[in-house]
Structure 1
Amino acid sequence: MTTTPVEAPWAMRLVSDRLPVGTPSYASVVLDAASQTALYMDAAGRVVEMGKHGTSKTAGTASVSGGGDGQQPQPQTQDDNTTDYESD
């Protein structure tokens, strides 16, 4: 009796790592009680800078909607929010 080796499905054979796998640059993560943010610590207990990241800013947009024909436009009202992402 011969057995046929089982191969992974064809799509799974195409999968590869997207980023190089390595050890993290930090040893632990703690919560700073005052700022409620995560602090990444090295093995010696020093804070490790995790690099730049983007910041999102939300701004309201306003529009003017007019009345019927021959009427003056209504005052501007905020009707939507736009989120903008920028690098630090």
Structure 2
Amino acid sequence: MATLAPEAPWAMRLVSDRLPVGPPTYAAVTLDALSQTARYTDTAGQVVEMGKHGTSKTTGTASVSGGGDGQGPQPQTQDDNTTDYESD
């Protein structure tokens, strides 16, 4: 009886690397006590800029749905959330 090697799930077989993986551009990460943010430094101890990133903002959306036959619209109610990404 032949034994088959287990295969990865179908969707996982489609995954591939999109960007080349290389060494990080920093040598150490420390916590800045004043701002409580990470500080990335190179091998010489100089601060390395890690680039800007976007900020997400979630807002609620509202809709008006009609009542039964012959009734007016019902008041607006929040029924969903939308996340928007803004550049810093």
Structure-2 change in CA distance of 1:16 and 1:85 (3 Å): closer
Instruction: Compute the displacement of 1:55 (Å).
Output: 2.0
Match of 1:19 in 2: 20
> Are 1:76 and 2:44 matched, yes or no?
no
The alignment of Structure 1 onto Structure 2 pairs a total of residues equal to: 73
Mapped to 1, the partners of 2:61 and 2:70 lie a distance apart of 26
Cα distance per residue 1:20-72 (max 9 Å; x no partner): 52x42222112234544322123343432101222221111101122111212
Q: Percent identity?
A: 75
Return the index of the structure with the highest Cα Rg.
Answer: 1
Structure-2 change in CA distance of 1:17 and 1:34 (3 Å): same
Match of 1:30 in 2: 30
Mapped to 2, the partners of 1:68 and 1:33 lie a distance apart of 60
Where do 5+ consecutive residues of structure 1 fail to align? 1-14
Where do 5+ consecutive residues of structure 2 fail to align? 1-15
For 1:85, the aligned partner's letter is Y
Structure-2 change in CA distance of 1:63 and 1:16 (3 Å): closer
Match of 2:11 in 1: none
Q: Secondary structure at the match of 2:43?
A: coil
> Normalised by the size of structure 1, how large is the TM-score?
0.61
Detail structure 1 runs of 4+ shifted over 4 Å in the superposition.
Answer: none
> Normalised by the size of structure 2, how large is the TM-score?
0.61
